[in-house]
Structure formats: C-alpha cells, structure tokens
Structure 1
C-alpha cells in the first residue's frame, strides 16, 4: 500500500520516464473525492476508451457522461504517445472488482496474470479507491492498431508509477483482469505489457531503447494480424488481403492468355 503521489510528483515521475505530458485545465483539483476515498493506492489499471479522435476523447474522459461524471481516469494516453492529464484524486475508472485480485496485486503474488475475476462493477469492491487509472485512445474492437509511440507511452507511464512506489510490474493490471464484466484493453495482452514494464524497470528512467521490446508469447491472435514490420505501413492482414487480390488478377490474366493461345493455335492449324 502507498499514499498516492501528489500531482507535482506524478508529473515529475512521468517526465523523468520520457513521457510527453499535456496538462488539461485544472486537472490537479478535478476529482471525485467527495464521493469516497482515494488511497492508499495498490496499483494501476489500464483501459481503452472505445473512441476515435484525441480532442473528443480528452473531453469525454475529463467531463464524463450524464450517468457517469468525470474524470473517468487520471490520464489519457493518445495515439501519438502524449499523456493528457485530466484529473487527480478519486476518478470514475475502475468501478467494482474482485477482492481476490486486489489481494494478489497488493502482494504482487500471481503468475503471468491474476486469477480470473469473479466479481464486477455491481458486486465488487471499490477499485476507484485503490488504483491509478489510464484510459488509452482506441476503438477497443481488437482491430484498431496501437501505434508504437502510444504503446511505448503506456509502458513508460506504468513504469514511472512502479518506479516511484517501488512496485514491480505485477502492480499493473488491465480492467478485464479487475472486473468480470470488462474486456479492456483489447489488442495486446497485459502479460506482454507487464513483461515490457518489467524490462524497463531494469534500466534507469532515462532509458531510451532503439526499439520497444515485444513479447510474442501469450498474444491474442489479432496481434499477429496487426503486426507491422519496421518501416512498413501495412499490417500482416492487409498484406494477405492485397496478395489475394493480386493473385486473383494474375489468374484472370492467365485465363485470358490461355484463350488467346488456343485461338492462335487454331489459326495455325487452319493455315
């Protein structure tokens, strides 16, 4: 357990880790503290937003909805890797979750992932009191890509918090690992993210790898299809789709050539 970092301390920790921080309005005093406790904190939860467009997404996570007031997280990690700080204190991000998972996170005692949650938003313990929350701009359909800059920022944000509190990467969980009625984040696995956070924690905060480490084991099938090689603009699925289209075109042209050859052969025989 730990007392939450101050707003000034979290900004310093993020910037030391190489995170580009955008401070949105009066984020340092924008919170839901009047509705319950925030802290001691035990870890950090990663979410996806199910939105498109950074400006719109920032507005949503800052202001919330009619039935769920903002802020909906502490910071929103955009596609370009910038982290927009929208609130500090208690925020409406984690909701109810499994007390067994909380115990495992507190003890940092589990394998590659916590035990599957059996409780959710309606019957779980209050996660908003125990966790930092980070929304990540993504449609959450398993197809919307995670740009390298964004994924790197997610790793850096989580490493900054773990470094500041002396936590291991096992203090970082996904919303789907906390609550049995959530699926976020989709498009990468938390096991692979924790592996990358753990790797980063073996280096100083100023570490800038030439390329973001990736872990291929335990990845969802969609990750393979969304893979892009270095310098490539198309993912694996796009290449497969384009290759099929080109193959179909070749088949059409070969069929036409065969007809032309047959016609020429007939003419030769007549001559």
Structure 2
C-alpha cells in the first residue's frame, strides 16, 4: 500500500486523520539497510502515556530506539496522525508461529502462544500507537477510530480482522498492550470481532449510511454519528448531503455527490456569507467544524428552514 493508497482508504472509511511533517518518506529502511515488507498484519500498541500530543516522540524516538516508533499515532479525540511510512520501530522481535497464523488467518479466537522471539515484526506489520497509558481504557473516540483504521487497512489487503493483533500477542516479553487496566491487555478476540463488524458494514461505514427521506430535500438534516472530513475530489453520499445543505443558503448549488470546483467555491462562499470567514483552502476541505456550522444555522431570518 502506497501513501496515496492509504489516504484513499482513510477517506473511504471515514477516518479523521492529520499528516505530520514528512511522514511519507520517514522510515528506518535506509538506516537499517532492511526493506519493509511484505506486510502481513496490523499491530496495536499503547504508548504508556496520557500526554495529549505525542507526535514528536513517535517521529523522533527515544534513546536507543530511533523513530519512527509507529506508522500511526491515535489521539484521544480519535484523530489518526500519520507519523511514518516504511520500516518503523514498533513491533520488535516476536514468535514465528504467531506470524504464520496471522499470515494464514488460520487460528481460533487467539493466535498461538507467543513463547519465542526470533522474527522481526518491524519487517511485516503496520503499527498504531494509541495515546494512552494502558492502565485504563482508551477513549470511545479512540476505539471507534481504531476499528475504522483497522478496517481501512484490512479492506485494502483483503484481510479479515484476524490480521490485527495486539503487541501483547506478539512475543515481546512483558508487553500487554493495548491495555485496559494495569498489566491487563484488552480482549483482542472482542476487538477483532468489533473490527470484523465494521468491515462487514455493521458499524460506521460511511457509504452504507441511509439517505435522508426524499420529502425533506431542503430541510436541515439532524447531526448524528460520525461526519467525515471531505476534500476536493471526494465522491459519495456525504458529499451529496453537504451539497444539499449548502443549497439551503446558495440555491445555485447542484447535488452531484462529487466534491468538484463548484462545491469548493460554494463552501468558500458559505463561510464568507454566513460566518464572515475566509477559508484558507479555497473551500477544498470541509471538516467537523464545517458540518457543525452548516447543519446548525437556519436558512431564514425568522429561524426556520
């Protein structure tokens, strides 16, 4: 999966993300002389800290363990920060039986016991570091984002959720991440079941959201659940929903379900007209703040739609 492929998958699955510095080329490949891949699975970690911003740590590493320390950093608000792409120091040495089971996706509720450490997992796993101590549960936003991020990766590779494991299942001595209490790892069978539910469309897959009733085309639609960041070039139901709401203020807007130049101009005009604010992207990005605004402002002076 290339960096561009990754961004496509994140948008497809409604993952809120942010790019950090030169993440596309930041890796350990050159320094170690070892190539990354083939990648066979996705490994979940906790950072061991509840700090609110751990991007610099994950990018730069620590004494004796240079960065990147993961490909993704998952913040408390559910934002996935893109840290590096290529070989990263996150998995360490692990059990060949676990790797074989993940590759084949042939195991029961849990992979085999991790009683060896003879295979370098940095060669063959994507890794996410979730920003929390592990001595308590991660936030709900983090868990929702983890499910979607896992689905985005598995969907690209045509994997099932059995390609997702916790660091504590890999073989590094003393590891118990992702944790839920001091020294206690989350039940990864339950995590995999939740990821599989997301993959199968039972939870939060944006393109499977139902359309609003046909008799409410000009009404302000209720805000509920996850609303994805949209960008110029995106397509789909959410883009049509945005266009439908913009048309309450700018009647010339057409509902095409394509975030084209006309939609970007309309977004820019909406901010200028209704909020006296000039966008810095010429309307080519529409995120959470935009959703809150466009769905909360009434289109008529008397407070009605």
TM-score, normalised relative to structure 1: 0.71
Corresponding residue to 1:116 among 113, 118, 139: 113
Q: Say which SS state the counterpart of residue 73 (structure 2) adopts.
A: strand
Partner of 1:131: 125
Partner of 2:10: 14
Partner of 1:183: 176
Cα shift readout 1:140-164 (whole Å, capped 9, x = no counterpart): 22x2x32111100001001110001
Partner of 1:168: 160
Q: Say which SS state the counterpart of residue 165 (structure 2) adopts.
A: strand
Q: 1:80 to 1:208 in 2, by over 3 A?
A: farther
Partner of 1:262: none
Corresponding residue to 1:150 among 142, 148, 151: 142
The answer to whether the Cα contact below 8 Å between 2:93 and 2:172 also exists between their aligned partners in 1 is no
Cα shift readout 1:32-86 (whole Å, capped 9, x = no counterpart): 012112111101000000112232x111111101210000000101110000001
Partner of 2:251: none
Rounded to whole Å, the distance in 1 between the matches of 2:59 and 2:102 is: 27
- Give the CA RMSD over aligned residues: 1.8
The answer to whether the Cα contact below 8 Å between 1:40 and 1:129 also exists between their aligned partners in 2 is yes
Q: Computing the radius of gyration over CA atoms, which structure comes out larger, 1 or 2?
A: 1
Rounded to whole Å, the distance in 2 between the matches of 1:68 and 1:96 is: 14
Partner of 1:59: 56
Per the TM alignment, residue 208 of structure 1 is displaced from its structure 2 partner at its CA by 6.2
Rounded to whole Å, the distance in 2 between the matches of 1:87 and 1:199 is: 28
Corresponding residue to 1:26 among 22, 26, 35: 22
The answer to whether the Cα contact below 8 Å between 1:61 and 1:71 also exists between their aligned partners in 2 is yes
The answer to whether the Cα contact below 8 Å between 2:51 and 2:132 also exists between their aligned partners in 1 is no
Partner of 1:269: none
Between structures 1 and 2, the one with greater helix share = 1
Q: Say which SS state the counterpart of residue 133 (structure 1) adopts.
A: strand
The answer to whether the Cα contact below 8 Å between 1:169 and 1:198 also exists between their aligned partners in 2 is yes
Q: Say which SS state the counterpart of residue 128 (structure 1) adopts.
A: helix
Per the TM alignment, residue 180 of structure 1 is displaced from its structure 2 partner at its CA by 4.3
Per the TM alignment, residue 12 of structure 1 is displaced from its structure 2 partner at its CA by 1.3
Rounded to whole Å, the distance in 2 between the matches of 1:132 and 1:9 is: 14
Per the TM alignment, residue 92 of structure 1 is displaced from its structure 2 partner at its CA by 0.4
The answer to whether the Cα contact below 8 Å between 1:41 and 1:129 also exists between their aligned partners in 2 is yes
Rounded to whole Å, the distance in 2 between the matches of 1:53 and 1:29 is: 26
Rounded to whole Å, the distance in 2 between the matches of 1:151 and 1:126 is: 27
Rounded to whole Å, the distance in 2 between the matches of 1:47 and 1:173 is: 9
Corresponding residue to 2:193 among 186, 192, 195: 195
Cα shift readout 1:205-241 (whole Å, capped 9, x = no counterpart): 42469889xxxxxxxxxxxxxxxxxxxxxxxxxxxxx
The answer to whether the Cα contact below 8 Å between 1:118 and 1:180 also exists between their aligned partners in 2 is no
Q: Say which SS state the counterpart of residue 159 (structure 2) adopts.
A: coil
The higher-RCO structure (CA 8 Å, 6+ apart) is 1
Rounded to whole Å, the distance in 2 between the matches of 1:135 and 1:85 is: 11
